[in-house]
Amino acid sequence: MQQQAFVLPGQAPFSAQQTFTCGQCFRWMPQPDGSYIGIVRGIPARVREENQQLSICTAPDSLSMWTDYFDCETDYGSICQSFAVDDFTAKAAEFGRGIRILKQEPWEALCTFILSQCNNIPRITGIVQRLCGLLGTPVSFEGQTLYTFPEPAQLAALSPEDLQPLRAGYRAPYLIAAAQAVQSGELDFAALNRLSTSDARKEIMQLRGVGRKVADCFLLFGLHKLDAFPVDTWMKKAAACYSGDMRQFMDSPYAGVYQQYFFFYTREHGLG
């Protein structure tokens, strides 16, 4: 597959490191030169930041997909300015200003956040890598072998015992249940995306193993519903650092963007 380097359009600054390590995705692997290699919808790419812009080496005919995936048309600078209302929020906006909310594949996002329950990022990453290596299709890229994310049909036919190599523990049956729901048509991502965030949350929480936090992570990172606001331990710590009531941010159309910046700043600085 022929590759070519491009600088994608969009508002600077962009940070590959912040975007890929802020907890929203688990399949972009850091390289010795500071770039990241990943595969989305079967298309591999190498991504780096150059002059605070997004530079990508990938198949020339895939640029529109990557422009959408990196949400290049959203002005994150203006969003940051809108929530910098005290010392804590201003520092969070400045510290994480290179983060972009990726438009991930709904199926992959659902699986990875099911695996995220009571887990940490390195372990989630390892489980996801083993899942793709076990069931994904190999794709050669720059001398490396990447793997596509398994399709629902592949997981739906398996038993929890088949997934023991993942070392996913109690989460393995949840993956299979989700795959079976997608395969049967019970879970339709396109239909789910047409619902309000509140109604979509109610629907996805009917899945076995999907509670409120996993549901909101899926809505934000899998359906790009930017008004979803996942709450975890770090967000509770962030709320303690904010001078006002954090709930004021939860009703915004960009609540999920605020959440990600607060989460990243609080975690990286060990606050709370």
Convert the pLDDT of each residue in 49-77 to its tens digit.
988 889 999 999 999 999 999 999 999 98
3-state secondary structure at position 152: helix
The contacts found for 134-140 with CB under 8 angstroms, 24 or more apart, are: 134/163, 134/165, 134/166, 137/42, 139/39, 139/42, 139/44
Predicted pLDDT at 225: 98
Q: Taking Cα atoms as reference points, which of 204, 159, 201, 151 lies closest to residue 179?
A: 151
Residue entry with tokens 């910098």: 84
Q: Which residues contact 161 (CB under 8 A, 6 or more apart)?
A: none
pLDDT in tens, 172-224: 999 999 999 999 999 999 999 999 999 999 999 999 999 999 999 999 999 99
| Residue 2: pLDDT band with limits 50, 70, 90 | low
- Percent pLDDT > 70 in the chain is 99
How many Cβ atoms sit within 10 Å of the Cβ of residue 177? 18
Mean pLDDT (whole number) for 116-126 = 94
d(Cα 26, Cα 21) in Å, to the nearest integer?
8
Predicted pLDDT at 186: 97
User: Strand pairing of 43-50 and 53-58?
Assistant: antiparallel
Predicted pLDDT at 1: 56
Q: 5 with 245: CB under 8 angstroms?
A: no
d(Cα 258, Cα 83) in Å, to the nearest integer?
7
Global pTM? Answer: 0.95
d(Cα 181, Cα 219) in Å, to the nearest integer?
17
